[in-house]
A and B are shown apart, each in its own frame.
Chain A
């Protein structure tokens, strides 16, 4: 069991790297969906004795939202708004990957120094959750389009979800609230922001938002 959870965690990081290096929009969305599926099954293997209804529901909800619904909406948006297939990074793919390596190293260092509640959790969980969060933030920083920023935000969310797994049993409703945030992101960001930006500026480049400055 432990080995499977380790495997899933490592897969999460590798998917993060793939996101950093991927140049096609729809490829990014697919990678995100895959990461969502990985995370949705993780609770079963992380907490050995946990097969409660809550865990099952949580996993089903995660798989549905992160693996299926949100990627579907994103792909739909790519088609509808006719976004070019290219990601248009501000930081090139190779430097991005190198920064990803630095991020993972940093998170391992930070993860060891972070005081944690006692419990039998995998040693990889905290560093990987930190790494996923930072990768998500880095994606939002380094990519130009609004849609890639949404993807970055969702990756960041995944990191928070991983962190939440640490205290899954101790804190009720924490993870559920996190998943609700995803719904919020899906509905709000896509429905309003992208449409709005593309209508106002004939483009979904966040660069154009500079015109709003005072």
Chain B
């Protein structure tokens, strides 16, 4: 526990050192790197200790805030979430140093450093807090640090708009959490989680109401589908390492909150499981479909985060159904699958965002259709991004496969043990998702890295320097290692899953072991595939050594004068799929077809506005704003009158209460 405090203190200390050191770039950089690395490593130690079966006593310190107490504990659930917090904090933090340097002062360096470290420290507190006041305080610090990271480039009007949407959503979510904790706390007479758990209402409308509040509050942060709309706005505009931390870890705080809520509630009605399944399926399907329609790389990744949160939601749905029906195996599988996917997603999504940042800086634009041919120009970045993309598609032997495998087995198990609707529904959704995700990442990765450069900036792209490459290498290795050797991670997930539903750890571990057994074989096959491809590559090198190799442009196709514009684009790749699903996603097309035998100009442009944000919420907000325009008159600017309002209000208040 001391180590965790040391970690938080180091991160926060590093944060507060960043602004005063802004004048001395070298010192600031060294301090920031040291604090990030030492802090995150110190924080990982207790998490790993707990996940390997250790036990750390709870820490309680007095805190003068009303009802607050510095009450921290690391149970397996907290420990499992601490791992992504610190792993991504470490890699993205180190990468961020390189990124800030490569940005050449386009970014407010000191404030990005400050808020990034603060974000990591506050997330570590969120998952370990055992007092609602402490939890909410850290939650709020996390949300605000995220806001300032989103608004790092606030000279751009789109960034300000994204920041505005983000802060509205995050505060709507916090409001729900305040109400929820206030209700729970007033029942318990204390803001302590343990006391709250003892005083939770039994199954009934009041428990359902609390669940609804938790679902909106935490679900908004996690990005489940009806509450997702802030995410594709906010994540693309933040600096890439901040997007990585937000997308890979901050969203998971919402998942953590929901799991913690389940662990606090005395009973889990089957309805919750169904709600999770439906929300998860909707988020996953629509998330990946919208991702397919995006041309902005980071926006695509943000929609893909919604998809993965949906997969986690499916897992939570199975887990909750298992708890509701008293089926321990099912519960363990569901929650463990969700947790494994939490870990996988945090690894590959942070890597994808870091890779996107490198591409972005090399090409100078986030539009994937402006790039191309980067595989040869940025080999290392492309290799790491490929690992991440393969993980994101759920291909063995990479990490994304493990969580989905456990979930598939969970769905099958659920179907065999009687809950047959869930198997049809969930397994079908998950299968469809795998295919769509593969299409999505093939499109994005292929357009970026294959073929010929479509612009001058892409032609001169180069790999970034070591400070940005090494963190990516670390994450890529982690993606592969977890996929090849899932044993320890699965055991940790089983332990955490057991602590959610109050299951016996041995039972949970046994359930997971049974499921994981074939994975050794799959891992071996995967490893063989990796080794085999390396062998083929070396063989090719060996065979070609003595011969002259002529390089031809890709997509030559026998044209005498091929141009990069003849290549397959992302839009054309995605179009058939989007045509199938156009009922779900009405895109706006601007088409100028070629006319005549020798057409002079032709054009095609399609865009997909977010149906919820652009078609419902923003128009509704406009109507509200117009109907409240008369209140603007109160904003007259006369200081004296403002003070008069205060004076009159105080007097009226005094007269009324006395």
B629 → chain A closest CB, angstroms: 13
- A213 contacts B644, C-beta separation under 8 Å: no
Is A214's CB within 8 Å of the partner chain B? yes
Residues of chain B from 615 to 644 with CB closer than 8 A to chain A in the complex: 635-641, 643-644
Scoring A residues 110 to 150 as 1 if CB is less than 8 Å from chain B, else 0, what string do you get? Answer: 10011000000000000000000010011011101000010
Is B651's CB within 8 Å of the partner chain A? yes
Complex: A199 Cα to B651 Cα, angstroms: 36
- A137 contacts B637, C-beta separation under 8 Å: no
Complex: A134 Cα to B638 Cα, angstroms: 20
Is A81's CB within 8 Å of the partner chain B? no
The residue that B637 contacts in the complex, of A106, A138, A209, with Cβ under 8 A, is A209
The residue that B636 contacts in the complex, of A110, A137, A210, with Cβ under 8 A, is A210
Complex: A209 Cα to B639 Cα, angstroms: 7
Is B175's CB within 8 Å of the partner chain A? no
- A137 contacts B658, C-beta separation under 8 Å: no
Total count of chain B residues near the partner, CB < 8 A: 16
- B655 contacts A110, C-beta separation under 8 Å: yes
Is A207's CB within 8 Å of the partner chain B? yes
A99 → chain B closest CB, angstroms: 11
- B639 contacts A206, C-beta separation under 8 Å: yes
- B655 contacts A142, C-beta separation under 8 Å: no
Contacts of B658 in A (CB 8 A): 110, 113-114
The residue that B643 contacts in the complex, of A114, A141, A207, A213, with Cβ under 8 A, is A141
Pick from B635, B640, B646, B647 the residue with the most CB of A within 10 Å.
B640
Residues of chain A from 133 to 185 with CB closer than 8 A to chain B in the complex: 134, 137-138, 140-142, 144, 149
Is A187's CB within 8 Å of the partner chain B? no
Given the known interface contacts A110-B655, A110-B658, A113-B658, the answer about A214 and B647 at a Cβ–Cβ threshold of 8 Å is no
Is B561's CB within 8 Å of the partner chain A? no
Secondary structure of the A side of the interface? Answer: helix
- B651 contacts A134, C-beta separation under 8 Å: yes
Is A84's CB within 8 Å of the partner chain B? no
Is B542's CB within 8 Å of the partner chain A? no
Complex: A207 Cα to B651 Cα, angstroms: 25
Contacts of B635 in A (CB 8 A): 213-214
- B636 contacts A206, C-beta separation under 8 Å: no
Complex: A173 Cα to B249 Cα, angstroms: 43
Given the known interface contacts A134-B647, A213-B635, the answer about A142 and B654 at a Cβ–Cβ threshold of 8 Å is no
Interface size bucket, A side? 20 to 34
B495 → chain A closest CB, angstroms: 49
- A141 contacts B636, C-beta separation under 8 Å: no
- A206 contacts B640, C-beta separation under 8 Å: yes
Contacts of A94 in B (CB 8 A): none
- A141 contacts B640, C-beta separation under 8 Å: yes
Residues of chain A from 189 to 214 with CB closer than 8 A to chain B in the complex: 206-207, 209-214
A32 → chain B closest CB, angstroms: 18
Secondary structure of the B side of the interface? Answer: helix
- A137 contacts B654, C-beta separation under 8 Å: no
Given the known interface contacts A110-B655, A113-B658, A134-B651, the answer about A140 and B638 at a Cβ–Cβ threshold of 8 Å is no
A90 → chain B closest CB, angstroms: 6
Given the known interface contacts A134-B647, A137-B643, A138-B647, the answer about A110 and B654 at a Cβ–Cβ threshold of 8 Å is yes
B318 → chain A closest CB, angstroms: 51
Contacts of B638 in A (CB 8 A): 207, 210
- A142 contacts B647, C-beta separation under 8 Å: no
B160 → chain A closest CB, angstroms: 15
Contacts of A207 in B (CB 8 A): 638
Q: List the B residue with the shortest CB-CB distance to A209.
A: B639
Q: List the A residue with the shortest CB-CB distance to B647.
A: A137
- B651 contacts A106, C-beta separation under 8 Å: yes
Pick from B638, B639, B646, B654 the residue with the most CB of A within 10 Å.
B639
Contacts of B644 in A (CB 8 A): 141
Given the known interface contacts A213-B635, A214-B635, the answer about A90 and B655 at a Cβ–Cβ threshold of 8 Å is no
Contacts of A90 in B (CB 8 A): 640
Complex: A44 Cα to B207 Cα, angstroms: 59
Contacts of B651 in A (CB 8 A): 106, 134
- A212 contacts B646, C-beta separation under 8 Å: no
Residues of chain B from 280 to 322 with CB closer than 8 A to chain A in the complex: none
Contacts of A142 in B (CB 8 A): 640
Contacts of A144 in B (CB 8 A): 640
Contacts of A137 in B (CB 8 A): 643, 646-647, 650
Given the known interface contacts A106-B651, A110-B658, the answer about A210 and B640 at a Cβ–Cβ threshold of 8 Å is no
- A140 contacts B643, C-beta separation under 8 Å: yes
Contacts of B646 in A (CB 8 A): 137
Complex: A149 Cα to B654 Cα, angstroms: 23
Q: List the B residue with the shortest CB-CB distance to A206.
A: B639
Complex: A80 Cα to B289 Cα, angstroms: 68
- Enumerate 18 A-B pairs (CB-CB under 8 Å) in ascending A order: A90-B640, A110-B655, A110-B658, A114-B658, A134-B647, A137-B646, A137-B650, A141-B640, A141-B644, A144-B640, A206-B639, A206-B640, A207-B638, A210-B636, A210-B638, A212-B637, A213-B635, A214-B635
Counting from the closest, the 4 A-B pairs by CB-CB distance are: A213-B637, A210-B637, A113-B658, A137-B647
B contact residues vs A (CB 8 Å cutoff): 635-641, 643-644, 646-647, 650-651, 654-655, 658
A contact residues vs B (CB 8 Å cutoff): 90, 106, 110, 113-114, 134, 137-138, 140-142, 144, 149, 206-207, 209-214
Extra 16 A-B pairs, beta carbons < 8 Å, given A207-B638, A209-B637: A90-B640, A110-B654, A110-B658, A114-B658, A134-B647, A134-B651, A137-B643, A137-B650, A141-B640, A141-B641, A149-B639, A206-B639, A209-B639, A210-B638, A213-B636, A214-B635
